[in-house]
Structure 1
Amino acid sequence: MFIAELLLNACIAFTGFYLIAKIIYSQRLASSNLKTLIVGLATGLLGVLLMFKGIAVNESLRMDLRHLPLVLLAFYGVRSPLIIATLIIGCSRFYFGWTPQAVVAFLAVLGISTGMYFIHKRLLHRPLLQNLIMNVWALFMISIAVSINLGFSDAALRLLASTWTIGLAVGLLSSLLTIDFQLLNEQVQRYKQSAELDHLTGLYNRRVWDERTALLEEEGRVYNVLALDIDHFKHVNDTYGHANGDLVLQQFARILQEETRPHDITARIGGEEFMVLVYDLTPSKVAKVANRIRERIANTRFQLDGFPAISITASVGIAHGKHVAAQRMNILADEALYAAKEQGRNRVILYEVDAEAAMTTQDREPVRS
């Protein structure tokens, strides 16, 4: 019976860990507040379930593993869900009555969570040691609570011996499971990033650009597509070598990241051509942004390996519109870029799609926003 209850509790705990970790790493919950609430509630309910199931030590004593879900959240460093789960697990003890023993148990749960949070911060880069010490801390706080509630009787000592033996064994297994799941998810994230990001610049690649812009026509928002190209980039590669050409591309990409908003989508389409998706700006405002980028590039000294720093320029084509398919906007932005090249480079050309206007040329001197 004891073995069966132990295995059942371990299975409940491990299944709960898996599901909670999946929620923590999920990208489908857009609202961080919603994820916080769901993780906190799920972990708290898991702790309550483990408390009610329990494991019979003898006919009169039972132990439980309610502390293990708190170890999980502390290990992941998610503070708000940890607070929610702590309050749920701690308050659930009052289900059996508002007694001094319930108060001691509640305070023990608070002590467990508080201590584990600081252990997490101190041992952030040593996951196995961190997890094991968290389990030991939890068992230590439980021992204090049991000693206060039951004294140092034979029953209390038997309960503590069982709690430490089972707690350490299951805690070790849960630590290994948690760390393995974390490593697996980190590896998945690395694979995902390598599939989404351009390996050289760290910007989005062409595949992600196509995915993120596929439904722009249906969104009904004003948006702008910027096509940017480094002027005479072939000369840079031929003169200074392809390795230095890569350095220029990396520095160019960093400027784009610094000069665009976090929610703008910036991608390297191929070679020296880049695209930027900018929402909700009027033609005049997006022209100011483009000219600010163009001026920043023209005024930057690009560092090379084995050669003096060089200056480069860039041409920019813009398509501005609403309810226009992304494919057409991409083509129009490319046409505007081609016109900028034809008209002397180092300039911005804007095409307003809604008005079917002709190409509008911005002077070499940028319009400052």
Structure 2
Amino acid sequence: MVKDLFVNGSIIISFLFLGGQLFKGETSTKSKINGKVLLGISCGLLGAVLMLFAIQVKEMIVDMRVVALAIATVYGGWIASLVAASIMIVARFLILGVNYISLIAAGGILGVCLFGVIVRRFNTLSTFQKYALVNVFGICYSFFVFSIVVDQRDELIALCIHYGWISILTASYSYFVADYLFKSYELFKRYEKESKVDYLTGLYNVRQFDALFNDQLRMVQERKEVLSMLMIDIDHFKNVNDTYGHGDSDLVLQKMGEVLKETVRGFDIVARHGGEEFAILLLDCPHERAQDIAERIRLAVEETEFPISEDRMIRITISIGLATYPETTTNTQQIIHQADTALYAAKRSGRNRVCAAEAM
């Protein structure tokens, strides 16, 4: 039995680490539903493999599939739980055939699934408490099955005791491994996001903007579309820094990020380009339309009150430079240079205005 426990533990840990690598490799653009389905499939296959490597306890053959189902339910919700349960039920029928005991086992799987989904809705419970309750329910259901198939009272008690401590031991180390891996995955995703997003404004940072810009240039050439770029600079921001300090001026930058995101279209790309400078890619946006959007942004900033402290607001203005491919240049490498040149022209001509590169 010790050997069987070791084998089951190795299988669970291997599946969890393999699943962790699959999740870590998942791109951030995939939907959460896909992730839950993937978790359900992984846990369902884990449960099926655990059935193949069942543990002999006294005269009974038992397995640890409830552990896999608990992981799917607690970490993936009803979608992962239902997927995992479906795979386990099919596997049970394929391995042992359709019979009385298999039908009882299938009922137990569905019961654990339903109980886990209900327990997961209680936000006052910790993850560990939810996981423990699901496993306890599964153990109790197994006790119920044992009471049906085992006639001798002494044998039943001995079987329940052995199965109980085996299940608790397996569920315990499985939880700690799974929890460690899921927390590592969440930390990985957080670091991945922080590597692409400016910490202060929540906009894309320069590195991510450059990557997206290159992708968009390739796509507009392939699809024969247009791409407009805005370079934006806060007027006299040095005076704001000198007067109020960097801490308070950060509030201005944060608010600026909010205004820009609210003013552009939902699919446009907004980034902080460094310091008080911002960049926006207006996707499939002709030059004339881009000038209207740029003017709308300028006016929105001019009319917005920016917080400096909890009870103090200031007004600021911005200058904007605009260039469009292929209307102002047919050289994709020149669009940034043109937008920068137009921005400097806006600042030289008095600030708080939009200057656009001339159309060819």
Q: TM-score, normalised by structure 1?
A: 0.85
C-alpha contact (below 8 Å) 2:307/2:314 kept by paired residues: yes
Deviation at 1:279, TM superposition (A): 1.6
> Quick check: 2:16–2:181 contact (8 Å CA) kept in 1?
no
Q: For residues 194 and 304 of structure 1, do their structure 2 counterparts lie closer, same or farther at Cα, with a shift above 3 Å needed? A: same
Q: Secondary structure at the match of 1:303?
A: strand
| AA aligned opposite 2:184 | L
Mark the runs of 5 or more structure 1 residues left unpaired by the alignment: 358-369
Structure 2 vs 1, CA of residues 139 and 270 (structure 1 numbering), >3 Å: closer, same or farther?
same
Q: 1:101-130 CA distances to partner (integer Å, 9 max, x unpaired)?
A: 222211111111121123223247723333
Q: Does 1:53 align with 2:57?
A: no
- Secondary structure at 1:286's aligned position in 2? helix
How far residue 197 of structure 1 moved from its aligned partner, in angstroms, is: 2.6
Q: Which residue of 1 aligns with 2:172?
A: 172
**Paired residue for 1:364?**
none
Q: CA separation of 1:184/1:34 partners in 2, compared to 1, >3 Å: closer, same or farther? A: closer
Partners of 1:295 and 1:138 lie apart in 2 by: 62
1:154, distance to aligned residue in structure 2 (A):
4.6
How far apart, in 2, do the equivalents of 1:329 and 1:282 lie? 14
| Equivalent pair of 2:57/2:163 in contact (CA under 8 Å) | no
Deviating more after overlay: 106-115 vs 253-262: 253-262
CA pair 46-276 structure 1, distance change in 2 beyond 3 A: same
1:281 aligns with 2:280: no
Distance 2:124 2:22 in 1: 21
Separation (CA, whole Å) in 2 of partners of 1:182 and 1:5: 26
Q: Counterpart in 2 of 1:19?
A: 18
Contact 1:231 1:346 in 2 (8 A): yes
Partner letter of residue 338 of structure 1? Y
2:351 maps to 1:345? yes
Does structure 1 residue 316 correspond to structure 2 residue 315?
no
Letter in 2 for 1:76: Y
CA distance in 1, matches of 2:73, 2:20: 12
In structure 2, what is the equivalent of residue 216 of structure 1?
A: 216
SS in 1 for 2:281: strand
Task: Note the C-alpha offset of 1:25.
Answer: 4.3
Q: Give the counterpart letter for 1:337 in structure 2.
A: L
8 A contact 1:318–1:336 mirrored in 2: yes
**One-letter amino acid of the structure 2 residue matched with residue 102 of structure 1:** S
Contact 1:77–1:120 under 8 Å retained in 2: no
> Pairwise mapping of residues 25-36 of structure 1 onto structure 2 (< 5 A)?
25-28=24-27, 30-32=29-31, 34-36=34-36
Please name the residue that 1:245 is paired with. Answer: 249
| TM-fit CA distance, 1:349 | 2.8
- In the alignment, structure 1 residue 328 sits paired with structure 2 residue 334: yes
The answer (yes or no) to whether the contact 1:224–1:279 under 8 Å persists in 2 is yes
Q: 1:54 Cα deviation (Å)?
A: 0.6
Q: Distance in 2 between matches of 1:165 and 1:326?
A: 67
Classify 1:238/1:70 alpha carbon distance in 2 versus 1 (closer, same or farther; 3 Å): same
1:176-209 Cα shifts (integer Å, max 9, x gaps): 1111122222333333334333232222221222
- More displaced stretch, 109-118 vs 197-206: 197-206
Q: For the structure 1 residues 69 and 124, does the alpha-carbon distance in structure 2 shift closer, same or farther, using more than 3 Å as the test?
A: farther
* Distance (Å, rounded) in 1 between the aligned partners of 2:28 and 2:351: 44
Tell me if structure 2 keeps the 8 A contact 1:45–1:89: yes
Q: Which residue of 2 aligns with 1:89?
A: 88
AA of the residue aligned to 1:267: A
Post-superposition offset of 1:83: 1.2
Distance 1:65 1:80 in 2: 21
1:230 and 2:237 equivalent?
no
Q: Match for 1:300: what amino acid?
A: T
**Matched residue SS, 2:322:** strand
> RMSD over aligned Cα, in angstroms?
2.6
CA deviations on 1:123-176 (whole Å, 9 max, x unpaired) are: 477233332223222222333343345467555444332321111001111111
The structural deviation recorded for 1:73 is 1.6
Assess if the C-alpha contact under 8 Å between 1:104 and 1:149 holds in 2: no
Does the 8 A contact of 1:77 with 1:117 survive in 2? no
Q: Paired residues, what number?
A: 352
The match for 1:361 is none
Give how far 1:324 is off: 6.2
Worse overlay, 149-158 or 338-347: 149-158
Any idea what the Cα deviations from partners look like across 1:271-329, whole Å, max 9, x if unmatched? Answer: 11011223222333333332222222111111222773111111222222159676532
CA distance in 1, matches of 2:67, 2:123: 18
Mapped partners of 1:64, 1:77: distance in 2:
22
Are the aligned partners of 2:73 and 2:80 in contact in 1 as well (CA < 8 Å)?
no
- The one of 258, 262, 267 equivalent to 2:271 is 267
Using the alignment, how far apart are the partners of 1:79 and 1:343 within structure 2? 61
Which whole-Å deviations, capped at 9, do the CAs of 1:315-347 have from their partners, x for residues lacking one?
A: 222222159676532222212222222333222
Identical residues among aligned pairs (%): 31
**TM-score when normalising by structure 2:** 0.87
Over 3 Å counting, the alpha-carbon distance change for 1:46 and 1:343 in structure 2 is same
Deviates more, 1:279-288 or 1:26-35: 26-35
Q: How has the CA–CA distance of structure 1 residues 213 and 88 changed in structure 2, closer, same or farther, with 3 Å as cutoff?
A: same
Match of 2:98 in 1: 98
TM-aligned CA distance change 1:260 to 1:62, over 3 Å: farther
